[in-house]
Amino acid sequence: MSFDIICFDCDSTLSKIEGIDELARRVGLVEEMSKLTDAAMNGEVPLEAVYERRLSLIRPDQHSIDWLADLYIAEIVEGVKEVFATLLAQGKVVHIISGGLRQAILPLANCLGLSEDHVHAVDIYFNEDGSYLNYDLTSPLARTGGKALVVSSLKGQASIVMVGDGKTDLEAKQAGAYVVGFGGVVKREIVRNSADFYTTEPTLLSVLEHIL
């Protein structure tokens, strides 16, 4: 199959980490946060039930976000750079759609050749001293069904595919997207059972033949 627009999740898809869990690890809350993240990604609880709670407990500051941005790049999944280079060379339209924090994801996107307007994630806000203030409470990506809304806004008459590891990525089906489940970092049964194609290969190159 060949698609006009290719969308990727970020955490556990482009990078081996879950950003919110890494921020939690820095403040000694990783065990509690990992359980909340898994519950949302496995579809056990709606995303909005955990999103605000996680950030209000962690309260990441500007320094933490800069640190996370570096970690996303350091922990990039095998094959990601090659996949993006191939897609962009062929003139494909590529987007990142993530429930993660946008300012932490932008440097990774830049490394992969994407412009900021092709990164859809949740903005985080800071006080003047760099301490945590809040996040974009209006972002659709901080609640269940958000990825379907973003995909729908991009799709138009084009063919579109969503590549990701979690329950929220399956939402893209509601907007008419083909879903490629990537289990190369984290394997989730709900994604294996519901994606149009599923791979557990550790390299993102394993999805390339299914999107070109």
With 90 as the cut, is the pLDDT of residue 55 above it?
yes
CA angle 38, 15, 146 (to 5 degrees): 55
The interaxial angle of helices 48-58 and 19-26, nearest 10 deg, is: 30
Reduced to 3 states, what is the DSSP secondary structure of residue 49? helix
pLDDT at position 2? 85
User: Is 123 among the residues known to form the active site?
Assistant: no
Q: Is the pLDDT of residue 152 over 90?
A: yes
pTM: 0.94
Q: What is the mean pLDDT of residues 7-28?
A: 95
Give, in degrees to the nearest 5, the angle at Cα 135 between 130 and 138: 150
Task: Select which of 11, 61, 165, 169 is catalytic.
Answer: 11
Interatomic CA distance for residues 129 and 145, integer angstroms: 34
Q: Which residue out of 4, 9, 21, 70 is catalytically annotated?
A: 9
Task: Check if CATH label 3.40.50.1000 holds for domain 5-211.
Answer: yes
Q: Render pLDDT for 31-53 as a digit per residue (tens, 0 to 9).
A: 888 888 888 878 888 888 889 98
Domain coordinates of the chain in residue numbers?
A: 5-211
Q: What is the model's pLDDT at position 35?
A: 86
Task: Report percent pLDDT > 90 for the chain.
Answer: 85
* Residue 162 predicted with pLDDT over 80: yes
